[in-house]
Structure 1
Amino acid sequence: MLPWHQYLIGVLFVIAGMMHFWKPKIYERILPPYIPAHGSMVIISGIAEMILGFMIMNKNSQVEAAWGIIILLILFLPVHIYMLKNEKAAMKLPKWLLILRLPLQFALMYWAYLYT
């Protein structure tokens, strides 16, 4: 049996991935303009989050999933920076919250790293 916090990170990523399908326009709006095919990227990243979320909840695939989550979170860093710089992408969130999201990404990376 895996620790409860490993299931928690898995469920969080599955839910986050599902949100890409429930609210795709939100995710399209936060993508920087230099990223092509916003609609496709939202779908691909949502699928990747769900797959990695399920994989990290499986002892046989947890290491690969953890590294995949870390890579995905690194790839998401430009999105968080873009949200800080672009008022439309910021979705009216307070600046302090947008700033807090950056170290949160690194905390999530460390959390995933625990399962490597």
Structure 2
Amino acid sequence: MTAPLRRDAKIVVGAFLASGTVHLVRPEVFEPLMPGWVPAHREVILGSGIAELACAVGLLAPPTRRLAGLASAALLVAVFPGNVKMALDAQRGRNTGFKAAAWARLPLQLPMIRGALRAARA
């Protein structure tokens, strides 16, 4: 029998469902986060949204949980440069709350990666 999805993996599912939806509905939100060296910004944003949604659904289904957990961890690592860019760019703005949120989300990547890998092992 497959173990139930852990709470940390459920957080990854929720975050991916929300973020993946925003990637598809409002991709322009993510364009400023894209490093200049990444080609085809809009296509990459849409593709990453689809990947987030696929990972979320895959984590929910026990037969695909291992693959989805590994893919989720890889995706979180892949988008990390965009999150760093967002934090650095936020420093140029005046919104203190946004600055704090941009930096606070960086260390949150680690427990999300851990949650995804735990789901892969379950």
Mark yes or no: TM-score above 0.5. yes
Residue 109 of structure 1 aligns with an amino acid whose one-letter code is I
Post-superposition CA distance 1:82-110 (Å, at most 9, x none): 112224997x4532221111110111101
Q: Is residue 69–residue 117 contact of structure 2 (8 Å, CA) maintained in 1? A: yes
- The structural deviation recorded for 1:47 is 0.4
Q: Distance in 1 between matches of 2:6 and 2:74?
A: 23
- The structural deviation recorded for 1:8 is 4.8
Q: Is residue 55–residue 65 contact of structure 1 (8 Å, CA) maintained in 2? A: yes
Q: Distance in 1 between matches of 2:14 and 2:118?
A: 16
Residue 101 of structure 1 aligns with an amino acid whose one-letter code is R
Q: Is residue 21–residue 43 contact of structure 1 (8 Å, CA) maintained in 2? A: yes
Q: Is residue 90–residue 98 contact of structure 2 (8 Å, CA) maintained in 1? A: no
Cα RMSD after superposing both structures? 2.4
Q: Matched residues, percent identical? A: 23
More helix by share: 2
Question: Unpaired runs of 5+ in structure 1?
Answer: none
Post-superposition CA distance 1:52-95 (Å, at most 9, x none): 100000100101101101000000110011112224997x4532
**Matched residues, number:** 116
Q: TM-score, normalised by structure 1?
A: 0.86
Question: Unpaired runs of 5+ in structure 2?
Answer: none
Q: Distance in 2 between matches of 1:26 and 1:106?
A: 23
Post-superposition CA distance 1:15-44 (Å, at most 9, x none): 221111121101112111111111000110
Change (3 A) 1:7 1:107: closer
The structure with higher relative contact order (CA 8 Å, sep 6+) is 2
Secondary structure of the structure 2 residue equivalent to 1:114 = helix
